[in-house]
Amino acid sequence: MVNIKKQIAISLKDIESKEKPSAYLEQYELDSETASRFLHNVLMHSNCEELLDAGCGSGSLTFASLLAGFERILAVDIDFEAIKKLKKNSEKLGLKWGVDMLVADFLKLSLSRKVDAIIMNPPFGTKRKHYDRDFLIKAFTLSDNVFSLHKKGNEKFFERLAQKYNFEMKTLESYKITIKHIMPFHKKMKHYVDVVQFYFKRNG
């Protein structure tokens, strides 16, 4: 499994990010190593066959999922340009199979049935208050299994939120992700953020 993680991380290094990311949407693409480790944890804690990547961006988690062996992925993003970049990346990586791309507001998404699991690196809510909470609450309505990345230090809040919606929260792994100088207001070339990957599973 360690070798698989390395292979996935190497493959993901070729992914292109959106040229002009939106500050309001907090479009920060995950690095290849973090995306690989994230999906490794998904594999270790579920036997799901299909995934929904909420706020997929340019596709780091989508392609990590395909490379990890998941056969069906629904990649959803509100930004048409992000989906265009994801499509270009799918052609570049030879991973057009198995992924359906949808331009839609995840918070308003309606599905005919629940998906096996949702994976997401949602906005942290720094530009739009409670954006991370809203993503999570919506995910709870669409799946019984949610794997999500959030800023460290908010564990108690998310645990209470999970309990309110009849979910159990499990902490899977902590990461230090790199935010590159991609926004006009960024002062440093690199900024490091401590984040935590949670697994939310519906009780019963």
User: Tell me, what's the pLDDT at 5?
Assistant: 78
Task: List, for residues 9-61, the tens digit of each pLDDT value.
Answer: 887 877 777 566 555 555 477 888 899 999 999 999 988 889 999 999 989 99
pLDDT score, position 125: 57
Predicted pLDDT of residue 22: 56
The percent of residues above 70 in pLDDT, for the chain, comes to 86
**85 — pLDDT class (breaks 50, 70, 90):** very high
pLDDT tens per residue across span 128-181: 678 889 999 999 999 999 999 998 998 999 999 999 999 999 999 999 877 664
As a whole number of angstroms, the distance between CA 173 and CA 163 comes to 20
On whether the 33-202 domain is CATH 3.40.50.150, my answer is yes
Phi-psi region of 105 (alpha: psi -120 to 50; beta: other; left: phi over 0): beta
Structure tokens of 51?
Answer: 């995934």
Reported pTM: 0.88
Give CA separation, 64 vs 15, 106, 144, 189, in Å: 11, 20, 21, 26
User: What span, in angstroms and rounded, lies between the C-alpha atoms of 186 and 202?
Assistant: 38
Question: Can you give the pLDDT at residue 130?
Answer: 81
d(Cα 117, Cα 55) in Å, to the nearest integer? 14
pLDDT for the residue 20: 64
